[in-house]
A and B are shown apart, each in its own frame.
Chain A
Amino acid sequence: DAGVIQSPRHEVTEMGQEVTLRCKPISGHDYLFWYRQTMMRGLELLIYFNNNVPIDDSGMPEDRFSAKMPNASFSTLKIQPSEPRDSAVYFCASSPSRGGYTFGSGTRLTVV
Chain B
Amino acid sequence: QQQVKQSPQSLIVQKGGISIINCAYENTAFDYFPWYQQFPGKGPALLIAIRPDVSEKKEGRFTISFNKSAKQFSLHIMDSQPGDSATYFCAASMGSNYQLIWGAGTKLIIKP
A contact residues vs B (CB 8 Å cutoff):
4, 31, 42-43, 45, 48, 50, 56, 91, 93, 95, 97, 100-106
> Dominant SS at the B interface?
strand
Contact of A101 (CB < 8 Å), options: B41, B100, B104, B105: B100
**Leading 5 A-B pairs by shortest Cβ distance:** A103-B43, A100-B46, A43-B102, A91-B43, A103-B44
Count of A-B residue pairs with CB < 8 Å? 40
Within 8 A of A (CB), among B54-112: 89, 98-100, 102, 104-105
The residue of chain B having its C-beta at the shortest distance from the C-beta of A92 within the complex is B43
A105 touches B102 (CB 8 A): no
- Interface, chain B (partner A; CB < 8 A): 34, 36, 41-46, 49, 89, 98-100, 102, 104-105
Contact B34–A105 (Cβ < 8 Å)? no
B97 to chain A, nearest CB (A): 9
Complex CA distance for A106 and B98, rounded to whole angstroms = 20
Is there contact, CB below 8 Å, between B49 and A42?
no
CB contacts (< 8 Å) of B98 on chain A: these are 31, 48, 50, 95, 97
- On whether A56 and B99 interact (CB within 8 A), knowing A43-B89, A100-B34, the answer reads yes
